[in-house]
Structure 1
Amino acid sequence: MDLTDYSVILTAYIMASAIKGLTGLGFSTSCLPVLALHFDLKIAIPLVLVPSIVSNITVIVQAGRFREAVSRFWPLYLAAVPGLLFGLAVLATINSDVAKAVLGLVLMIYALWAMTNMTVSLPTKWERALRVPIGFMTGIVNGMTGSQVMPVLPYLLSLNLEKNDFVQAINISFTFSSLVMLLGLNQLGYLTATTFLIALAGLVPVLLTLTVAGRLRRRLTTIVYRRLVLGLLLVMGMILLLRNFL
């Protein structure tokens, strides 16, 4: 890697940490598009995982109600594993540009959905019935693109959980999937010593930025920043998708 590569990584880490601290948006969701514009996804995804795991574990410790979330959603978490393995197998065989286009499409769908503030309430019987398929589909999308938000995020929001219950449930999903992803990428040979060391070193600016952003969050209008971030994700998703056709 050269100086340009390191500059892109540092920029992506700082931007994603600031966004997570200010708006609560997932680290990997905002970091991956920036890295994917410069790197192959097979390089970008390993660079995101270590900082993502650390930031998510921090939130898990803060949120509480860990046992309650695991007891309720363990089928969803376990169903993500075969989906992840399938998604990783697809990632290993498809063209990198196709994977980037899929990531772009996922980001666009997520951004547009979040902008509409759509709320759907699922009855209890559907909540239980959808746990396994939602987990499996989330695993496939995660394995192929590195994005962890679809469709698990809309599903959990539709359950009208208390704030801390929602934060805990989604972060357990992110963390568990990231750990499985880390092992899978290592088996495929994508997690090299270089990328792992870069990701570890990146924890310093990530944690510093998270701390500063957390303090600024009280003074800034989160709604405005959330709209700006979602708009940015929409644009980056369009760029990743359209690059295949230009």
Structure 2
Amino acid sequence: MIGFVVGVFAIAGMIKGTIGLGLPAVSMGLLSLVISPFQAATLLIIPSMVTNFWQLFAEGHVWRLVCRFYPLLIGIVVGSIWSIFPTLGHANSSFHTEALLGGMLALYGLYGLFSKSMPNLATHEKWLSPIVGYLGGALTVATGVVVIPVVPYLQSLQLKRDDLVQSLGLAFTVSTLCLAVFLHLNPVENTPIDYKLSLIALIPALMGMWMGTKIRYRIPEQKFRKVFFCGLVIFGIYAVLHQLGVI
């Protein structure tokens, strides 16, 4: 089990180091093949928190971004408390959680393939931020992954590169904190949170990120992104169809 977890986080970290995202999505997708989504989400807590803090505080001006995106952050918190979706570990929700996770991974992959055609939503930021935040928080405690719709939304605001990276790190950090609190307050019977294994998973994740930064300069990033997102689409669709009993 430990060997599988180490391998998953090494791969996920490498992908994040190469293209700057994907650690939670890849980790949840692969881990959910052999353990429950709740267990997979608990293993994400420490690796996600550390890498998100790294991403958030790599540059300055964090408070400026907090002041701008506080409606989004409040929405994430509210969504994690009152989710409209079946949450991780909820009674009889395993089917819905895994199908929802598969659907999110497929949407994430499609978004990654066609993100260049995203419209500019900056003029609607004031009223969209709390809505997007709520959906992001609700989906985080339902699937263990904060992707849709937070990532596409932030990238549609036409932020400068450093602001975008930090804004994503800010949203990821708040979402991970909310997920950690949710998992702690809503434990599944006979499934304690394994903080030790989560801490162990941090090591291959950081090593993978380091390897990913090296790979970034050796292969065309756009080609790598295309293969990665196509893989997410295929994997996500397979997960949904498998849960529906089609395959």
The reply to whether TM is greater than 0.5 is: yes
* Separation (CA, whole Å) in 1 of partners of 2:22 and 2:53: 12
User: Which of 16, 25, 29 is residue 25 of structure 2 equivalent to?
Assistant: 29
Shift of 1:23: 1.1
User: Against the structure 1 CA distance between its residues 165 and 123, is the aligned structure 2 distance closer, same or farther, given a 3 Å change threshold?
Assistant: closer
TM-score by length of 1: 0.92
1:183 aligns with 2:181: yes
SS of the residue 2:145 aligns to: coil
Shift of 1:8: 2.4
The letter of the residue matching 2:95 is: D
The letter of the residue matching 1:154 is: P
User: Which of 5, 21, 36 is residue 9 of structure 1 equivalent to?
Assistant: 5
User: Against the structure 1 CA distance between its residues 123 and 225, is the aligned structure 2 distance closer, same or farther, given a 3 Å change threshold?
Assistant: closer
User: Against the structure 1 CA distance between its residues 182 and 123, is the aligned structure 2 distance closer, same or farther, given a 3 Å change threshold?
Assistant: closer
The letter of the residue matching 1:173 is: A
Shift of 1:86: 2.6
The letter of the residue matching 2:200 is: A
Contact conserved, 1:119 with 1:158, CA < 8 A, in 2?
yes
Contact conserved, 1:111 with 1:231, CA < 8 A, in 2?
yes
Contact conserved, 1:28 with 1:49, CA < 8 A, in 2?
no
SS of the residue 2:83 aligns to: helix
1:44 aligns with 2:40: yes
Q: Which residue of 2 aligns with 1:206?
A: 205
User: Which of 94, 97, 102 is residue 96 of structure 1 equivalent to?
Assistant: 94
Runs of 4+ in 1 over 3 A off after TM superposition: none
The letter of the residue matching 1:46 is: T
The residue correspondences of 1:114-133 to structure 2 (distance < 5 A) are: 114-117=112-115, 118-124=117-123, 126-133=124-131
Work out the number of aligned pairs and report it.
240
Shift of 1:203: 1.4
Residue-by-residue CA offset, 1:163-192 (whole Å, 9 max, x unaligned): 011111111111111011101101112573
Q: Which residue of 2 aligns with 1:156?
A: 154
* Separation (CA, whole Å) in 2 of partners of 1:100 and 1:56: 24
SS of the residue 1:13 aligns to: helix
Shift of 1:16: 0.3
TM-score by length of 2: 0.92
The residue correspondences of 1:74-93 to structure 2 (distance < 5 A) are: 74-87=70-83, 90-91=86-87, 92-93=90-91
SS of the residue 1:147 aligns to: coil
Question: Which is richer in helix?
Answer: 1
Contact conserved, 1:63 with 1:167, CA < 8 A, in 2?
no
Shift of 1:123: 4.4
- The RMSD of aligned alpha carbons is 1.7
Unaligned runs of 5+ in 2: none
Unaligned runs of 5+ in 1: none
Shift of 1:85: 2.0
User: Against the structure 1 CA distance between its residues 111 and 144, is the aligned structure 2 distance closer, same or farther, given a 3 Å change threshold?
Assistant: same
* Separation (CA, whole Å) in 2 of partners of 1:58 and 1:77: 18
Contact conserved, 2:86 with 2:93, CA < 8 A, in 1?
no
Shift of 1:150: 0.7
The letter of the residue matching 1:212 is: M
The letter of the residue matching 2:114 is: T
Identity across matched positions, percent: 27
Deviates more, 1:126-135 or 1:115-124: 115-124
SS of the residue 1:17 aligns to: helix
Deviates more, 1:202-211 or 1:184-193: 184-193
* Separation (CA, whole Å) in 2 of partners of 1:175 and 1:119: 24
User: Which of 166, 169, 176 is residue 167 of structure 2 equivalent to?
Assistant: 169
* Separation (CA, whole Å) in 1 of partners of 2:170 and 2:2: 30
